[in-house]
Amino acid sequence: MNNAKSADIQVFDILGKTIFSQENISVNERINVSNLENGTYFIRISMDNAVTTKKFLIFK
């Protein structure tokens, strides 16, 4: 039996604009952010009826 968990994710810029969104992504999957400009972003992860939002920075 496959017990892999999945989540819904959204990435937002500092103004709240959705930059990336994907449903049912594997928790082990990586998200490519190489196309994002330098700046502050937020990722919202929804999994198992819980939602977490974290800030991350891009510096190239």
Q: Helix, strand or coil for residue 16? A: coil
Element spanning 48, H or E: none
Q: What confidence score (pLDDT) does residue 3 get?
A: 56
Q: What confidence score (pLDDT) does residue 38 get?
A: 97
Predicted model pTM = 0.83
Closest among 9, 18, 14 to 58, alpha carbons compared: 14
Q: Encode pLDDT of 1-60 as tens digits.
A: 455 589 999 999 999 999 999 999 998 899 899 999 999 999 999 999 999 999 999 999
Please give the single-letter amino acid code of residue 25: I
Query: What is d(CA 29, CA 40) in angstroms, rounded to the nearest whole number?
Result: 22
Query: In this structure, what DSSP letter does residue 15 have?
Result: T
Domain boundaries, the chain: 6-29+36-58
Closest among 15, 19, 11 to 45, alpha carbons compared: 11
Q: Which fold has domain 6-29+36-58?
A: Immunoglobulin-like (2.60.40)
